[in-house]
Amino acid sequence: MKPAAPPPRLFEALEAPLLALDPLPRGLWLWTLVHSHGRWLDRPAALETWRQALIAGTVPSQPGWPSSGLAHAITDMLQHLGLPAFCHGKAELAEQVLRALLWHLDLIPDYRDRGASPERAQAMALEAFADDWRERTALVDALTEVLGDLGELKNMRWDVVRGLLRSEGWQAAVRIRRLIEDLPGLSALIAGLGRDRDCTAQAEESSTGNQAPQPLPVPRMVQRRLRVPDLPGETRGVQRADRIARMLPAEAMLLGHPRLRLVWHARRAERTLLCYEDDDCLLEPLPRPQPATLPQPRPRREMGPMMICVDTSASMRGGAEAVAKAVVLEAARIAHAQRRACHVYAFGGPDEVVELTLGFDSAGLTRLVDFIGQAFRGGTDICLPLERALVRLGESGWQQADLMIASDGEFGATPALAAAVLQAKTTQGLRVQGVLIGDRETVGLAELADDVFWVRDWRRFGGSSAASPVHDRRLTALYFPGALRSAQNRAATLDGEAAARAVRAGRKESTPT
């Protein structure tokens, strides 16, 4: 076998200085080679030192480039702006900072050509860099306040971010984000949607830590029923005794006779007076050791796709509208942070459905801001968004999705659609979470949602201090239980034809069928 030819070494010595470019991202290569400040042989290794330090959240002590005086000025400026913490763990952002720094430092010869001294030219370059990134950090802080972790959004064009943050929709998003802090439990509720991952084992492991289970017997309290004779309670009959307080009136009459009273004393001594027999029962608690049979938690699945149906009808204006938008914004935050699919159905009257896919790019953020800036109006028809949600549930990537309905409950699904939702729950495992932004739970919401999260004080989010006029959200179930399409009510309900036949036959409600 012919041996491999040795690599050519003709240009190895000439290319050796360029090996320092390999650790750098390609976006920094050109700036490193053509920069006007210092020797280019010193820049590649020094820029890699700067980059690694920024990613680590610090500044280098001895970078090797630029000159010592300028390097100290740069480190002071970066720390003053908070850029090391800003770039911590974000390689792309650290690269953007270095590219901007190289661009501003390359303008120092231009400042000197305009008559500035070397010190003044360096100060002008650093001031321009600081002004530029002071605005950018403020923009990113504003994005982070509303959206949390930016992820891919940190690579957005700054002019797009600047225009987005000046829009009315973004200002509304900022106000709504502050409302979420006054809705305890909403974030955990939305985060629990989806069925991609079994979270039961993880929750048990985090709660127990490394502690071994203790197989100790669990004492179980049982109650023993004891009959206590002569204890005032229930009268059972008549007995022979010496209880004066419980003797019959016939015995008491003997005391008024001059001779028969001696008979009464004799009977009392012999305990043969006719007295009422009464007793009572006491419940005695007794500890009984039982084997340690701890209840097993039901499997809980989370971290899956989310489908949000948001009511945008006219009845949602005011505080209810703010809460509904807060639900969508929090769903966008959680989906963005956990890289989960989220699809929103904003429904109004018949055939009024706006679908919104919450993405992780600038286009998805723009769609979210536009939705938050919209006003709610129109009627209420939930049938079309539910139909589309059930269709999406059968598509690839959405089989493990859960559905959330945020509404005031002023709607009603058709019996066929309610049956289709029930079928999806039974066969596909769909879970429907309701967010009631109103005073009472209606029939339409109660028969669709497995559980309802009640925002009782929704009026205060619209600037009103009025409290809810009801004490319980389940007024419909309490006072109109027959109106719910439960399994028991369906079994006891006749259709129109069967009811007509019963009326013609003269049968009544009490007549057996």
Q: Angle 362-373/158-165 helices, nearest 10 degrees? A: 10
Q: E-strand spans in 62-191?
A: none
* pLDDT value, residue 158: 59
* pLDDT value, residue 150: 57
* pLDDT value, residue 286: 67
Q: How far apart are CA 411 and CA 315, in angstroms?
A: 11
According to DSSP, residue 254 is labeled: G
Q: pTM higher than 0.75 for the full model?
A: no
Please report, for residues 139, 152, 165, 289, 379, the alpha-carbon distance to residue 135 in angstroms, rounded to integers and kept in the order given: 6, 19, 12, 69, 43
pLDDT tens, 263-311? 999 999 999 999 988 877 777 776 665 554 444 555 556 678 889 998 8
Q: How far apart are CA 409 and CA 420, in angstroms?
A: 19
Question: Are the CB atoms for 203 and 235 separated by under 8 Å?
Answer: no
Residues contacting 438, CB < 8 A, separation 6+: 320, 407, 408, 409, 410, 458
User: pLDDT averaged over the chain?
Assistant: 76
* Of residues 214 and 444, more confidently modeled: 444
Note if the bond before 6 is cis, omega within 30 degrees: no
According to DSSP, residue 496 is labeled: H
**Confidence band, pLDDT 50/70/90 cuts, at residue 71:** confident
Q: How far apart are CA 50 and CA 61, in angstroms?
A: 10
Question: Are the CB atoms for 444 and 465 separated by under 8 Å?
Answer: no
By DSSP bridging, strand 301-302 and strand 197-198 are antiparallel
Question: Are the CB atoms for 111 and 78 separated by under 8 Å?
Answer: no
* Of residues 205 and 447, more confidently modeled: 447
- Show the DSSP H helices in 18-82 as ranges: 29-34, 43-55, 68-81
Q: How far apart are CA 360 and CA 339, in angstroms?
A: 8
pLDDT tens, 170-228? 666 677 777 767 777 888 888 888 877 665 444 444 444 444 444 445 556 667 777 77
* Of 338, 369, 343, residue with least CA distance to 151: 338
- Show the DSSP H helices in 271-409 as ranges: 319-338, 362-373, 383-393
* Of residues 509 and 400, more confidently modeled: 400
- Residue 191's CB: how many other CB atoms inside 10 A? 19
* Of residues 446 and 424, more confidently modeled: 424
Which residue shows structure tokens 């989310």? Answer: 306
Mean pLDDT of 122-134: 86
Domain residue spans in the chain? 12-154, 222-284, 306-471
* pLDDT value, residue 389: 92
- Residue 145's CB: how many other CB atoms inside 10 A? 12
* Of residues 70 and 146, more confidently modeled: 70
pLDDT above 80 (res 153): no
* pLDDT value, residue 285: 75
Write the CATH number of the domain with boundaries 306-471.
3.40.50.410
Q: How far apart are CA 414 and CA 444, in angstroms?
A: 9
Mean pLDDT of 363-369: 75
Q: E-strand spans in 164-243?
A: 197-198, 218-241
pLDDT tens, 10-53? 666 666 777 777 788 887 877 777 777 777 777 788 888 888 88
- Report the b/e string of 76-114 with b at 16+ CB within 10 A: ebbeebebbebbeebeebbbbbbebbbebbeebeebeee
Residues contacting 366, CB < 8 A, separation 6+: 164
Rounded to 5 degrees, φ, ψ at 313 are -80, 175
By DSSP bridging, strand 402-407 and strand 306-311 are parallel
User: In a 3-state reduction of DSSP, which class is residue 490?
Assistant: helix
Question: Are the CB atoms for 242 and 273 separated by under 8 Å?
Answer: yes
